[in-house]
Amino acid sequence: MTLLEQYSLLLALVIGIGGLIMALYGLARAMGPARQESGKDVPASSGVLSQNPVWGRYHARYYGYALLFLAFDMEMAFMYPWAVVYKEVGLVALYDMGVFLAILFLGLLYGWSQGALRRQ
């Protein structure tokens, strides 16, 4: 397959996906026109009007959980490609992954020392 054929296939896929999105959007607009109702713009939970403001803030302790989740999520995102190329690269890949895991472990120790893993 030549380079021109590859790019033309990519262009056809992009145009096809764009057309599908537009067709689904048009179908949704044709099947269910939106009606303006006064109750649709009011924040409610289970049919009860909320007494709290809409843009409430979360407590700061949840940010630690979020950062730890992102750290270990990124670890899993990098472990798969590393496992694929490990046989080709060899011991250098093992050292690289060891350094990466050591940095993540230091982040875990820091979060632990700050009380991010403590139940409250």
21-28 long-range contacts, CB within 8 A, separation 24+: none
Give the pLDDT of residue 99: 92
- The DSSP bridge partners found for residue 44 are 49
Phi then psi for residue 44, to 5 deg, are: -140, 150
94 or 22, higher pLDDT: 22
14 or 28, higher pLDDT: 14
Average pLDDT score over residue span 111-115 = 81
What is the pTM assigned to this prediction? 0.46
d(CA 77, CA 71): 10
Quick one: what percent of the chain has pLDDT higher than 90?
A: 23
Domain locations in the chain as residue ranges: 1-31, 60-120
Which tens digit of pLDDT belongs to each residue from 21-66? 999 999 988 888 777 777 666 666 666 776 766 666 767 767 777 8
Average pLDDT of the residues of the chain: 83
Confidence of residue 93 (pLDDT cuts 50, 70, 90): confident
Confidence of residue 8 (pLDDT cuts 50, 70, 90): very high
105-112 long-range contacts, CB within 8 A, separation 24+: 107/67, 107/68, 107/71, 108/68, 108/71, 111/64, 111/67, 111/68
Cβ atoms of residues 111 and 68 within 8 Å = yes
